[in-house]
Amino acid sequence: MGRTAAGSVGMAVGTLAAAGAACVAYGVAVERHWYRLRRETVPVLAPGEEPRTVLHLSDFHLLARDRRRQRFLAELAELDTDLVVVTGDILGEPSALDASLEALSRFHPRLGAAAVLGSNDYYAPRPKNYLAYFRRRRRPRLPRGRNPWRELIEGLERMGWVVLANRRAELGDVELAGMNDPHIRLDDPTVAVPPDGDGARLRIGVVHSPYQRSLNAFERSGYQLVLAGHTHGGQVRLPGVGALVTNCDLPRQHVRGLSRWGSSWLHVSAGLGTSKFAPFRFACRPEATLLTLVPA
């Protein structure tokens, strides 16, 4: 290779490296803090019913000193909503328990608030090889450290929240069923089966990780809406490609936002945070979603 050709290759490599460094700097310094509120309309109610609003929050991965995320949560708490649902991964580290409970104590929706836990509420994060997410058959590896999940549940229940750990609940005239996290095999799909004689009321299924077995259980049982998180919307998305991974068996076209899952509507939140060891988002801003439920 001549000097001219070698120089051209070197310049191209240098340009590519500089562009990559700029993308990483943007993802770390800008986009992961660029919070937004997404609004969606979901036609799930019976004819003649009054619209209802549901604020869907997920994947805070809150750190004790993360003031920006806490301020955004405080802004969201000012919204006028009927129901607040959190689909897990609230804690980003063990020391974030008090900050998380304080942030959630600000929410006072008319019908009530409900939550499920995610794997990161049970286990503290640790560094990992993130290229493993691209393996087709990857078994989730549980971290060794413990997060204070019992204290989290106790704190939420003291504030009047309903924690749907493989259980059902009613908030006003809305029936909810929540599964514990399928990502770490804590889910019980039978919780989706409604009691005998239960009428055609509004049913919302709640789960952290949108594995197909969980979504199918809700859909078979007639749930009009299923709420999930876990995917971070892919966390890294490319124009024309979308999310690179889902971190579960969910098809990539369902990884963020509102879509159909059989006869049900499915909303997967892109979430508000990231692991403390992967503080980066690209073309996938952190977000919460205000869902307006209207007659079908």
Backbone angles phi, psi at 128, to 5 degrees: -150, 165
At 23, is the pLDDT very low, low, confident or very high (cuts 50, 70, 90)? confident
Query: Domain spans of the chain?
Result: 34-295
Question: What is the C-alpha to C-alpha distance for residues 116 and 89, in angstroms, rounded to an integer?
Answer: 9
**Can you give the pLDDT at residue 205?**
98
Burial label for 58, CB within 10 Å (0-12, 13-18, 19+), is buried
The CATH topology of domain 34-295 is: Purple Acid Phosphatase; chain A, domain 2 (3.60.21)
Which tokens hold the place of 146?
A: 């413990």
> Pseudo-torsion of CA 164, 227, 131, 64, nearest 10°?
-60
Q: Which residues contact 154 (CB under 8 A, 6 or more apart)?
A: none
Extract the tokens encoding 71.
């301020």
Mean pLDDT (whole number) for 237-251? 90
Distance CA 35, CA 269 (A): 13
For the residues of 132-167, what is the DSSP string, one character each? Answer: GGG-SS-PPPPPSSB--HHHHHHHHHHTT-EE-SSE
pTM over 0.85: yes
List C-alpha distances in Å: 274 to 11, 125, 233.
34, 11, 11
How far from 172 is each of 78, 83, 136, CA to CA, in Å? 21, 10, 42
The confidence band for 194, taking pLDDT boundaries of 50, 70 and 90, is confident
- Provide the 8-state DSSP code for 6: H
Residue 106 in this model has a pLDDT that exceeds 90: yes
Q: Given pLDDT bands bounded at 50, 70 and 90, which one contains residue 142?
A: low
